[in-house]
């Protein structure tokens, strides 16, 4: 999947990217980002740690269950929303922690 965006913090050019880059930081923290191909400005999408990656895997499991017509879709959707909310909270806290150091 390609994503079109605009380099609003660098060269002001539009570009498309299809893959995020990953960089292992300290304490098992991973930075997920993409870079403007024109000027090289780096845009951080998010940070993850072991706990966030486990929650992301739980979301993927719930989403796989949604493919089954016999699964309770309402319950799965609620479970997915709950896990995603927790992921967002943890990602926000992790970003704040990482970017303060």
Q: What is the pLDDT along the chain (101 residues), one digit of tens a residue?
A: 788 999 998 899 999 988 999 999 987 999 999 999 999 999 999 999 999 999 999 999 999 888 888 888 898 899 999 999 999 999 999 999 999 96
Residues 57 and 84 in one domain: yes
Residues 66 and 98 in one domain: yes
Residues 36 and 60 in one domain: no
CB burial class (10 A; 0-12, 13-18, 19+) of residue 20?
A: middle
| Domain tally, the chain | 2
**Structural domain harbouring 34:** 1-47
Residue 10: which H helix or E strand, with range? none
Residues 54 and 98 in one domain: yes
**What is the model's pTM?**
0.83
CB burial class (10 A; 0-12, 13-18, 19+) of residue 86?
A: middle
């Amino acid at each position: 999947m390609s994503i079109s965006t605009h380099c609003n913090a660098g060269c002001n050019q539009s570009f498309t990217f299809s893959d995020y880059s990953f960089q292992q930081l300290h304490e098992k923290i991973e930075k997920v980002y993409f870079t403007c191909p024109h000027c090289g400005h780096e845009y951080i999408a998010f940070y993850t740690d072991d706990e966030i990656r486990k929650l992301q895997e739980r979301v993927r499991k719930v989403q796989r269950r949604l493919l089954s017509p016999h699964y309770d879709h309402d319950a799965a959707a609620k479970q997915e929303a709950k896990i995603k909310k927790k992921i967002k909270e943890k990602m926000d806290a992790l970003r704040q922690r990482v970017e303060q150091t």
